[in-house]
A and B are shown apart, each in its own frame.
Chain A
């Protein structure tokens, strides 16, 4: 089955710096790659997603890139702010309804 690896597990940056989180997946059938943000005590919330026919997508300070050949995708956050501090999860969809998540990255943005 699909396996999603996420790195790093923790990331600490200064406010204003950029943050990059990387994921790899194993199942070439996966065609949809979302990123979720989870704040303490809450459920994950979708922040950006990308489909396999697109190489890059941007939404304000957030961007996602996808390399299908290498089976990896990345989340880029620019001009980080303290409110970006949270746990971020990548995921891949190898089959309808079965979204497989990475292990998560705890991002800390220091003021």
Chain B
């Protein structure tokens, strides 16, 4: 595709529910990244995939957060039993292998009521 695609663009959910956020990277990009951006804050690193494997999961805030990537393309970030503090914009990015030049999607705005 022309760019990194994220869906949904907005998600409102109730506290305690599970949510799935989807990221479709640029075609041919083998590396994929998830970041979280809270209101007025910087970007918080969550997880990084090289192909289907995640060498670095150190940024996941708790065991309620998980991510997977299948077929070296689409990735899903799952948040179980959502809490109000999970409300944020979740950004996905992709890059070519061996280069740290990230291309970001427009993000998913998650609101937990």
Contact = CB atoms under 8 A, between A and B. Distances in A.
Tell me whether chain A's interface is mostly helix, strand or loop, or mixed. Answer: strand
Q: How large is the interface on A (under 10, 10 to 19, 20 to 34, 35 or more residues)?
A: 20 to 34
B100 A93 contact: yes
A29 interface: no
Interface stretch (A13-21, A52-60, A69-77, A99-107): A99-107
Given A97-B48, A99-B100, A43 B106 contact: yes
A42 interface: yes
A104 B42 contact: yes
A104 B32 CA distance: 22
Contacts of B48: 97-98
Contacts of B102: 34, 44, 46, 99
A102 B44 CA distance: 9
Contacts of B43: 44, 89, 91, 101
Interface residues of B, number: 25
Contacts of A102: 42
A111 interface: no
A103 B101 contact: no
B42 A45 contact: no
Contacts of B31: 97
A2 to B, nearest CB: 10
A45 B104 contact: yes
Contact of A43 (B56, B58, B100, B107): B107
B104 A32 contact: no
A34 B101 contact: yes
Interface of B: 4, 31, 33, 35, 41-45, 48, 50, 55-56, 58-59, 91, 93, 100-107
Given A41-B106, A43-B91, A89-B43, 4 more contacts: A34-B102, A43-B104, A44-B91, A97-B56
21 contacts: A1-B58, A41-B106, A43-B104, A43-B105, A44-B102, A46-B101, A46-B102, A46-B103, A96-B50, A96-B55, A97-B33, A97-B48, A97-B50, A97-B56, A97-B100, A98-B59, A99-B33, A99-B45, A99-B100, A100-B45, A103-B41
